[in-house]
């Protein structure tokens, strides 16, 4: 009887709510949420502090002698040293990654996703690729030292003992190959089967389906992977140390002619790591300026890749 | 032709093992056992104390994880369970950008910011110290832990969450007692991948932990130290040929082999855990 009266029902509901919540606010829930937020904000703050610190320290050099920094060669004094040879080395490493690693990686991904039958071999290749993606970069340096610097010296640079930008470019191409394969394979896997079936339905061969339907559809994903791989290769220093990047002085090597590919070389991250170890405020400022230049390239590439991916993800 | 491209990955693995194995064999067969257990890692003087660099790697990894696990996990839980799609779209790229920062840059940051501004402010550490280097390695592994654990938690089906809410559980309880246990394989995988990445990290330690050329055995994280990776890089840096007494050159391959075997083992174990998450949901 009592329940049928609306007033009492309302107060019963209030009683029930207070019974369940015991009139407590969800304090532990709130604390937990704040702790989580603190975690992600810490990551954000570290990123901001890092970028602001580097720009701050490097700003005198960047504002006073940016053109000079970009155009002069390595030297023993901070106020005259420049990055031209380093930029050239990094440029060629990027070219090698685009010409060697990208075609190879995308082909491998096409094979694994479109041609290979699921079996022991593909599983083995798959595990192998994912393991390669986790191999430390110094170990790739050792590979480059043995294969490109020593075994293939006649091709990579007889005069520079094999310590050339060819060796460096090939080593880093191998380093980023797993990244390209994995991201391309994911992009190809995400292509809806209906597209393939429609192609086969009108009598297209497998290659025609791949070439004119699957690849164009997967292109944004493949491009994202390519850009990420490029950014990784441009920032990687450890393998280059083993391949023999010059850390001190370099007389040659500011020419962009392909004939100079067999000469000794250096690259931006190598110069940064060497300059980091030099004492004094002036070297510190130059190092920070070089970092700003490298971060500008690497982070713009990364951010571009992320935006590209998000754009296409939203579209589909 | 595509098959050939796919096989290159297998060929690369074979080449890695081949290039490591030859010189490692020379090292293992020729080195005096006594030289492997001395006071420090000074390959140019014939002192190959393996424990120096292995313990160095372990210390750096431990510090890195102490930094990266709380932050990475909190970020992952927030992104997977709490953040609204719009907040997530803003915060996720922050982690991805952090993941894109080259490790030399973090080495410089460790040496010129973390070491003087944080570590030396609270301790009497030397300028080059393992604590600062380890913290910077931790920063590098935050995005890794966050993204792998977030994937694991997002693959937990919503029906489990709804069942938990249906029983009257709150969000915290649902997250801690339902989602995290369900995703635990993925979280373990994230941890293992982070360990593997931290052990393999070279440039931060090379730049910020000092000890180029060699290091005495030390467990003092406020002083300089050497890891397996930095030991390889610092022997090879700046010289045309790796020079030194007898087996200096071969010792690099030995250390690299050690590194390769350890990280491969960790990667394979992590892979197994990731697969388990995928199979169950």
Taking an 8 Å cut-off on Cβ atoms, the answer to whether A36 and B75 are in contact is yes
The DSSP letter of residue B20 is: H
Strands across the sheet containing B215-216: B47-48, B40-42, B215-216
Contact B161/A at CB under 8 A? no
Which of A115, A140, A177 has its CB closest to that of B9? A177
pLDDT digit string, tens, across residues B53-67: 899 999 999 999 999
Q: What is the mean pLDDT of residues A179-201?
A: 92
Report all structural domains of chain B as residue ranges with CATH numbers, in order of start.
2-280 (1.10.3720.10)
Q: What is the pLDDT of residues A92-109, one digit of tens each?
A: 999 999 999 999 999 999
Which band of pLDDT confidence, cut at 50, 70 and 90, is reported for residue B245?
Answer: low
Binned at pLDDT 50, 70 and 90, residue A1 comes out as very low
List CB contacts of A76: < 8 A, sequence separation 6 or more: A249
- Does B142 score more than 80 pLDDT? yes
On whether any CB of chain A is under 8 Å from the CB of B170, the answer is: yes
Q: Which residues, 6 or more positions from A271, have their beta carbon under 8 angstroms from its beta carbon?
A: A74, A83, A86, A247, A290
B175-234 residues touching A, CB cutoff 8 A: 175, 193, 196-197, 199-203, 206-207, 212, 229, 232-233
Residues in chain B: 281
Whether the per-residue pLDDT at A148 is higher than 60: the answer is yes
- A-proximal residues of B, 124-143, CB under 8 Å: 139, 142-143
- For the question of an ipTM over 0.85, the answer is yes
Q: What was the pLDDT predicted at B139?
A: 95
Out of B237, B256, B267, whose CB is closest to A247? B237
Does residue A4 register a pLDDT over 70?
no
Test A237 with B102 for CB contact under 8 angstroms.
yes
- Mean per-residue pLDDT for B126-142? 92
Q: A308 touching B, CB under 8 A?
A: no
Q: Kindly state whether B90 is in contact with chain A, defined as any CB-CB distance less than 8 angstroms.
A: no
In this model, does residue B168 exceed pLDDT 80?
yes
Q: Residues of chain A with pLDDT > 90: what percent?
A: 41
Chain A: give the shortest CA distance to residue B48, in Å. 19
Residues of B in contact with A174 (CB under 8 A): 12
What percent of chain B stands above pLDDT 70?
95
- The residue-averaged pLDDT of B91-99 equals 87
Give pLDDT, residue A158.
Answer: 77
Q: Are strands B47-48 and B215-216 parallel, antiparallel or unpaired?
A: unpaired
pLDDT band (50, 70, 90) for residue A248: low
Note the pLDDT of residue B47: 80
Closest CA to A130 of B259, B188, B271: B271
Question: Residue A253 — very low, low, confident or very high, per pLDDT cuts 50/70/90?
Answer: low
User: Does the beta-carbon distance from B15 to A238 stay under 8 Å?
Assistant: no
Q: Report pLDDT digits (tens) over B34-57.
A: 777 777 788 777 788 888 889 999
The predicted pLDDT at position B197 comes to 93
pLDDT at B121 over 90: no
Tell me which of A25, A43, A179, A225 to substitute to probe the interface with B (most B C-beta atoms closer than 10 Å): A43
pLDDT band at B239 (very low <50, low <70, confident <90, very high): low
Mutant choice from A22, A35, A46, A76 vs B, greatest count of B C-beta within 10 A: A46
A297 touching chain B per CB within 8 A: no
Q: Which of B235, B170, B178, B159 is nearest to B202 (CA)?
A: B235
B21 in contact with A at a CB cutoff of 8 Å? no
CA distances from A252 to A78, A246, A265, B6 (A): 19, 11, 8, 38
User: DSSP letter string over B41-83?
Assistant: EEGGGTEE-HHHHHHHHHHHHHHHHHHHHHHHHHHHHIIIII-
Cα separation of B276 and A126, whole Å?
16
Question: Chain B closest CA to A236's CA: distance in Å?
Answer: 7
User: How many other CB atoms are there within 10 angstroms of residue A315's CB atom?
Assistant: 7
Q: Is the pLDDT of residue A147 over 70?
A: yes
Asked whether the beta carbons of residue A50 and residue B101 sit closer than 8 angstroms, the reply is yes
- From chain A, the residues in CB contact with B275 under 8 A are none
Tokens describing residue A255 = 């020419």
Across chain A, mean pLDDT equals: 85
Closest to B97 (Cβ–Cβ): which among A127, A141, A299?
Answer: A299
Quick check: B172 and A32 CB within 8 A?
A: yes
Q: If you average pLDDT over residues A296-314, what whole number do you get? A: 84
What pLDDT shows up at residue B81?
92
Which range, of A243-252, A295-304, B22-31, B173-182, averages the lowest pLDDT?
Answer: A243-252
User: Which residues in chain B are contacts of A43 at CB distance < 8 A?
Assistant: 71-72, 75, 94-95, 98, 142-143, 146
Nearest Cα to A149, choosing from A168, A136, A134? A168
Query: Residue A273 is nearest to which of B8, B16, B107, comparing CB atoms?
Result: B107
Q: What is the 3-state secondary structure (H, E, C) of B179-208?
A: HHHHCHHHHHHHHHHHHHHHHHCCHHHHHH
- Among B224, B228, B230, which Cα is nearest to B205's? B230
Q: Tell me: the pLDDT tens digits for A157-177?
A: 777 777 888 899 999 999 999
CA distances from A223 to A103, A193, A311, B128, B257 (A): 12, 21, 13, 40, 34
- Angle value at C-alpha B37, between B35 and B42, nearest 5 degrees: 60
- In this prediction, residues B135-157 reach a mean pLDDT of 93
How many other CB atoms sit within 10 Å of the CB of residue A3?
8
Which CATH topology does A61-315 take? MetI-like fold (1.10.3720)
Chain B positions in Cβ-Cβ contact with residue A140 (cut-off 8 Å): 16
pLDDT at B3: 79
Whole-angstrom Cα distance, residue A75 to residue B42?
A: 30
pLDDT at A315: 66
Decide: A82 and A69 in contact? Cβ < 8 Å.
Answer: yes
Tokens in use for B58? 């372990």
What are the tens digits of pLDDT across the range B265-274?
999 999 888 8
Q: Do B2 and A47 touch (CB under 8 A)?
A: no
Distance from CA of B260 to the nearest CA of A (A): 7
Tokens representing B179 are: 């989602």
Q: Which of B221, B226, B230, B228 is nearest to B126 (CA)?
A: B221
* Mean per-residue pLDDT, B85-113: 89
Please state the separation of Cα A25 from the chain's center in Å.
45
Mean pLDDT check: name the lowest of A306-315, B101-110, B145-154.
Answer: A306-315
Judge whether A44 and B94 are in contact, CB under 8 Å: yes
- Tell me the β-bridge partners of B216: B40
Confidence category of residue A244, pLDDT binned at 50, 70, 90: confident
A160 and A253 Cβ atoms separated by less than 8 Å: no
Strand partners, A264: A164
Q: Which residues contact B170 (CB under 8 A, 6 or more apart)?
A: A26, A29
Tens of pLDDT, residue by residue over A21-54, are 665 667 888 889 999 999 999 999 999 999 999 9
- Give how far Cα B98 sits from Cα of A29, A201, A207, A314, B144, Å: 28, 46, 39, 23, 10
SS3 label, residue A263: coil
């Amino acid at each position: 009887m009592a329940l049928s009266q609306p007033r009492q029902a309302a107060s019963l509901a209030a009683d029930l709510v207070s019974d369940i919540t015991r009139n407590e606010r969800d304090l532990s829930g709130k604390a937990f949420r704040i702790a989580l937020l603190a975690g992600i904000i810490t990551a954000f703050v570290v990123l901001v502090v890092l970028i602001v610190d580097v720009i701050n320290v490097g700003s005198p050099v960047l504002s006073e002698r940016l053109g000079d920094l970009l155009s002069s060669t390595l030297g023993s004094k901070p106020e005259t040293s420049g990055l031209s040879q380093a930029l050239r080395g990094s440029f060629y490493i990027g070219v090698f990654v685009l010409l060697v690693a990208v075609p190879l990686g995308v082909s491998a991904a096409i094979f694994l996703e479109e041609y290979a039958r699921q079996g022991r071999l593909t599983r083995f290749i798959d595990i192998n690729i994912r393991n390669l993606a986790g191999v430390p970069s110094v170990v790739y340096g050792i590979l480059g030292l043995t294969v490109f610097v020593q075994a293939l010296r006649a091709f990579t640079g007889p005069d520079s003992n094999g310590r050339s930008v060819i060796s460096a470019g090939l080593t880093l191409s191998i380093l980023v190959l797993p990244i390209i394969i994995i991201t391309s394979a994911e992009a190809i896997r995400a292509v809806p089967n209906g597209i393939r079936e429609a192609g086969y339905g009108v009598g297209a061969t497998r290659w025609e389906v791949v070439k004119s339907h699957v690849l164009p559809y997967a292109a944004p994903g493949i491009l994202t992977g390519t850009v990420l791989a490029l950014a990784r290769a441009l920032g990687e220093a450890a393998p280059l140390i083993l391949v023999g990047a010059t850390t001190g002085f370099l007389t040659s090597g500011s020419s962009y002619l392909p004939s100079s590919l067999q000469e000794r070389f250096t690259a931006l991250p190598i110069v940064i790591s060497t300059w980091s170890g030099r004492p004094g405020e002036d070297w510190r400022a130059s190092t920070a300026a070089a970092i700003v230049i490298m971060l500008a390239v690497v982070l713009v590439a990364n951010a571009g890749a992320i935006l590209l991916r998000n754009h296409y993800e939203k579209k589909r | 032709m595509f098959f050939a491209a796919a096989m290159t990955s297998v060929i690369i693995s074979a080449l890695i093992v081949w290039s490591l194995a030859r010189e490692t064999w020379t090292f293992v067969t020729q080195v005096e056992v006594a030289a492997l257990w001395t006071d420090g890692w000074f390959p140019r003087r014939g002192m190959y104390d393996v424990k120096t660099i292995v313990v160095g790697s372990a210390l750096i990894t431990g510090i890195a994880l102490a930094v990266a696990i709380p932050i990475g996990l909190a970020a992952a839980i927030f992104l997977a369970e709490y953040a609204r799609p719009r907040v997530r779209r803003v915060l996720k790229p922050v982690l991805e950008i952090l993941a894109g920062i080259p490790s030399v840059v973090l080495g410089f940051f460790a040496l010129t910011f973390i070491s003087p501004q944080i570590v030396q402010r609270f301790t009497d550490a030397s300028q080059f110290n393992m604590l600062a280097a380890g913290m910077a390695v931790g920063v590098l592994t935050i995005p890794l832990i966050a993204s792998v654990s977030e994937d694991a938690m997002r693959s937990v089906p919503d029906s489990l969450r709804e069942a938990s809410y249906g029983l009257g559980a709150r969000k915290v309880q649902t997250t801690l007692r339902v989602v995290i246990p369900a995703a635990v394989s993925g979280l373990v995988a994230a941890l293992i991948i982070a360990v593997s990445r931290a052990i393999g990290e070279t440039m931060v330690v090379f730049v910020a932990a000092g000890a180029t050329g060699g290091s005495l055995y030390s467990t003092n994280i406020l002083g300089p130290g050497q890891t397996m990776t930095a030991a390889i890089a610092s022997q090879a840096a700046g010289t045309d040929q790796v020079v030194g007494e007898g087996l200096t050159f071969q010792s690099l391959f030995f250390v690299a082999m050690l590194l390769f075997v350890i990280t491969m083992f960790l990667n394979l174990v992590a892979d197994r855990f990731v697969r388990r998450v995928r199979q169950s949901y």
